[in-house]
Amino acid sequence: MTKIDRAKNNMKFIRFRQHMTLDDLFLKTGIWQSKLSTIERGIFKPKQEEKEKISKALNSSIATVFPETESLGVIPGDAKT
């Protein structure tokens, strides 16, 4: 069985606090808005380089923007471990 992990992050909170849109973040990072949105919602796990760009654009540490992940459950019937 494979666990589904949803990346837990503070991107949206920090971005809103700084009155920044996804378009603003795109302009500072070069990462497309659609990808930023999926990272922000925890659907996509960013690469280390992306974490660095996003954190720098948000004037925050990587640890502040991207803390631990949380397990959302197990996919039944999935033979992968």
Q: What is the pLDDT of residues 33-72, one digit of tens each?
A: 999 999 999 888 999 999 999 999 999 999 999 986 444 4
pTM: 0.75
In this model, does residue 26 exceed pLDDT 90? yes
CB 25 within 8 A of CB 54: yes
Q: How many domains does the chain have?
A: 1
Is residue 80 domain-resident? Answer: no
- Domain of 29 in residue numbering reads as 2-75
Task: For residues 42 and 51, give the distance between their C-alpha atoms in angstroms, rounded to a whole number.
Answer: 13
CATH number at residue 24: 1.10.260.40
